[in-house]
Structure 1
Amino acid sequence: MWTLDELLERVSAALTAEYSGAPNGRVRDVPDRRAVRWYATTGLVDRPSAMRGRTALYDRRHLLQLVAVKRLQSEGRTLAEIQASLAGATDATLAEIARVPDGLLESGDPPPASSVRPRFWAEPARPAVALNGVALEGGVVVLVPGSPSAADCADIAAAARPLLDLLAARGLLTEREPS
């Protein structure tokens, strides 16, 4: 994984071979930080793979995408044409277009596990747990999994006595009988 500046250094190195630049001279030979962010916003390039604090991290695919974009621009294609042709492109297709030397594709250290956002929508669903309320004095209800028996409810009420006294002392109960 690379920071944006490290990624741009690799893009520049990859473009030193077989790259004549954009034919009209209106396009930069190497994208700058702002252009890469704009490419990601418009979907031309994938969003960063991970974050390390506030620093975006990029990987091999980003390098292939950026070099492929610049190579296609040097052929005179517009960004709209490039976006249409690269939409859904595999890494193999990008590698064929980009022609990045193998040494530049070697990634740095992987990001720390904590910097990768979990994909909560891809996690298997957890089974639902049924909760039942045990009513205590003062409008307090304790939620417990399963179905407590009458004896369980009495034991829970006895164990909750110190909590109920604290809540009563702080005026947090709706009603309270003297104990």
Structure 2
Amino acid sequence: MWTMEELIDRVRAALTAEYSGAPNGRVRDLPDRRSIRWYSTIGLVDRPLGTRGRNALYGPRHLLQLVAIKRLQAAGRTLAEIQAELGGASEEALTDLARVPSDLLRVDPESAPPAPAARPPFWKAPPAPPTDWVFPDPAPDLSASLAPPTFHRTPDVPAPPADPGVLPADGLLTGVPLGAGVVLLVPGSLHLDVTDRAELAAAARPLLDLLASRGLHR
């Protein structure tokens, strides 16, 4: 795997041969650290594969995504248009669009971080059972009685519904492109992999069809 600096060097090498630069003067010809983090935040680029010390690690798919973004920007496409096109793009589609030389995609197997433990999609996990809190009655007056204290179960009180307008505690959100310019925002603490994003996009297809039938998105 590669550090962010190594990833940027590979993006530069991949674009050197045929990249003419973005026509919009406000767009950097090459991505920098800040723009890569922003792309990851909005779901345009996958999150890092892992870390080595304090360094985030990236792989071939990140390289394909960044080169594809810059090629589309060079063609005059806006970031919103690029999000709609690259959201959930397959490896084959990214490879065709980015045209990265194969030697730049090679990685050292020994540099790969340990594979994360498999986990089910967060939206399919069953809810945690409610906690039953039991409180003792006030301590008895031992001078009047030697009977032990009694216990009782408090009634189940449903938790108040979550307020959809309240941001997560850390204030960070991750954008998951669903297609047609629609982006789903989820808490930044949720680390979604490629499979999670593809399943979310597939699950959202009926919603996108409904929005399109009512003219709520293009």
On whether the aligned pair clears a TM of 0.5, the verdict is yes
Q: How does 1:1-179 map to 2 (within 5 A)?
A: 1-108=1-108, 109-113=110-114, 116-121=115-120
The amino acid across from 2:112 in the alignment is P
Give CA-to-partner distance per residue, 1:91-120, whole Å, 9 cap, x none: 11001110111111111333242xx43233
* Equivalenced residues, count: 121
Structure 2 letter corresponding to 1:111: A
Indicate if the aligned counterparts of 2:4 and 2:33 stay in contact, CA closer than 8 A: yes
Deviation readout 1:45-102 (Å, 9 max, x if unpaired): 0000112233211000000000000000000001110010001111110011101111
User: What is the CA–CA distance in structure 1 between the aligned matches of 2:63 and 2:49, rounded to whole Å?
Assistant: 12
Does structure 2 conserve the Cα–Cα contact (< 8 Å) formed by 1:49 and 1:57? Answer: yes
Quick one: distance in 2 between partners of 1:117 and 1:33? 25
1:120 is paired with a residue of what secondary structure?
Answer: coil
CA RMSD of aligned residues (A): 1.7
For structure 2, the residue ranges without an aligned partner over 5 or more in a row are 122-218
- Alpha carbons 2:50, 2:58 under 8 Å: kept: yes
CA distance in 2, matches of 1:106, 1:112: 16
Distance 2:113 2:61 in 1: 19
Instruction: Answer 1 or 2: which has greater helix percent.
Output: 1
Q: Give unpaired runs (5+ residues) of structure 1.
A: 123-179
Q: Which portions of structure 1, spanning 4 or more consecutive aligned residues, are displaced by more than 6 angstroms?
A: none
Identical-residue share of aligned pairs (%) = 63
Output the CA distance in 1 between the equivalents of 2:40 and 2:24: 24
Q: What TM-score, normalized to structure 2?
A: 0.53
Secondary structure of the structure 1 residue equivalent to 2:10: helix
Please tell me whether the aligned partners of residues 50 and 113 of structure 2 are also in contact (alpha carbons under 8 angstroms): no
CA contact (8 A) 2:51 2:113 kept: no
The answer (yes or no) to whether the contact 1:52–1:111 under 8 Å persists in 2 is no
| Structure whose CA Rg is larger | 1
